[in-house]
Chain A
Amino acid sequence: MALSLKRRGIDRVRPLEGGYEGWVSEGFPLQQWVPAETTSTSIAVGA
């Protein structure tokens, strides 16, 4: 995916180590995902 973005001119690309699960396992905050992507609410998960 990173390669694919670089081909589209987005070159300052950095992958997040551990991805979503890595972020969650650190207990950092998440944002609720809403299907329509119209509104979002910040929620704290373990932090």
Chain B
Amino acid sequence: MNASIEFLSTYGPMLVFTSVLLEQAGVPIPCTPWLIASGALARLGHGTIALPIALATVAASLGHLVWFFAGRRWGSRVLRLVCRVSLEPDVCVQRTENVFTRYGARALIVAPFIPGLTTLAPPLAGMSGMHLRRYLALDAIGDLLWTTSFVALGWLAGEPFFRLVGVVMGYAGSAAGFFAGGLALYLAYKLLQRLRFRAQLRVDRLSAGELKRRLDAGEDMVLVDLRHRREVEDSGSTLPGALCISPEELDRRHKEIARGRDVILFCS
């Protein structure tokens, strides 16, 4: 235990800053164990909690800022890029937009606590044209609350945290193997399901020319514009006769879509 305390006393601040910066910028590496450990370390008299909180807040804000500017520069393409790692990218993008529609800029404060949203909220704020100063203030509040909560958790745990780490490391081999196996099976199943469905949709895809011909021929079909409300407003138009149903309205309005007819979906 003394060796790990000594190691953390020396490299803790650097580990906290680097891991938080990378994790908040979207690299899938865990940073919360380092935040908790730095809090526990402070409880044992090695340093203060102020330093890891400050370092982690600055690192998180820097990591988010990259995405904020990317969102401002490249718009929804950035969201799709970030969501590409998700098993359901379309749902991922829409869900994030829905959170922003519902909570507005306040979503930035809670975003660090919601897995996934922490990387998606900054580009969405950039896309929405939020003023940089307002964005920085809200993001900093969220980051400060987030880092403080984990460092405080470690501080409350104190020495037992390091004992727990020792016990966990003892069982790490078998527990990690079991967990990793289960996770791999689940991911493989979801990926297969997704690939099969996408392959089917690719086959069923309708070209704009074919749709125009069918509409001109008077075929009875339903066109559904699934773009987000803001996108429809920006463009000011939709396809002839299309129902504009944004994804967050789908639960409430899906009965407006006639069954038994070809339903043509489109987004941006």
Contact = CB atoms under 8 A, between A and B. Distances in A.
A8 B15 CA distance: 48
Interface string B219-263: 000000111000011011111111010010010001001011111
Contacts of B239: 20, 23, 28, 30-31
Interface in A1-34: 1-5, 8-10, 12-23, 25-26, 28-33
A9 B47 CA distance: 60
B239 to A, nearest CB: 6
A31 B242 CA distance: 8
A15 B204 contact: yes
Q: Categorize the interface residue count of chain A.
A: 20 to 34
A15 B237 contact: no
Main secondary structure of the interface of B (DSSP, over half): mixed
B57 to A, nearest CB: 37
A4 B241 contact: no
Nearest to A26: B208
Contacts of B206: 14-17
A39 interface: no
Given A20-B238, A20-B239, A33 B263 contact: no
B265 A33 contact: no
Contacts of A17: 205-208
Contact of A3 (B197, B207, B211, B266): B197
Contacts of B241: 31
Given A8-B254, A20-B225, A14 B264 contact: yes
Given A10-B254, A17-B205, A18-B208, A1 B240 contact: no
Contact-residue size bin, chain B (C-beta under 8 Å from the other chain)? 35 or more
B102 interface: no
B133 interface: no
B257 A42 contact: no
Question: Is the contact region of chain A dominated by helix, strand, or loop, or is it mixed?
Answer: mixed
Contact of A15 (B205, B240, B242, B259): B205
A35 interface: yes
A45 B212 CA distance: 13
Contact of A12 (B94, B212, B247, B260): B260
Contacts of A13: 204, 263, 265
B205 A30 contact: no
B85 interface: no
Contact of B205 (A5, A14, A31): A14
B90 interface: yes
A35 B149 CA distance: 43
Interface of B: 88, 90-91, 94, 197, 201, 204-209, 211-212, 225-227, 232-233, 235-242, 244, 247, 250, 254, 257, 259-268
11 contacts: A1-B250, A5-B250, A5-B257, A13-B265, A15-B204, A20-B239, A21-B268, A23-B239, A26-B208, A30-B240, A45-B237
Given A16-B266, A20-B268, A33-B232, 19 more contacts: A1-B250, A1-B265, A2-B197, A2-B265, A3-B88, A12-B261, A14-B204, A14-B262, A15-B264, A15-B265, A17-B206, A17-B208, A22-B207, A23-B211, A28-B208, A28-B212, A31-B239, A33-B237, A42-B240
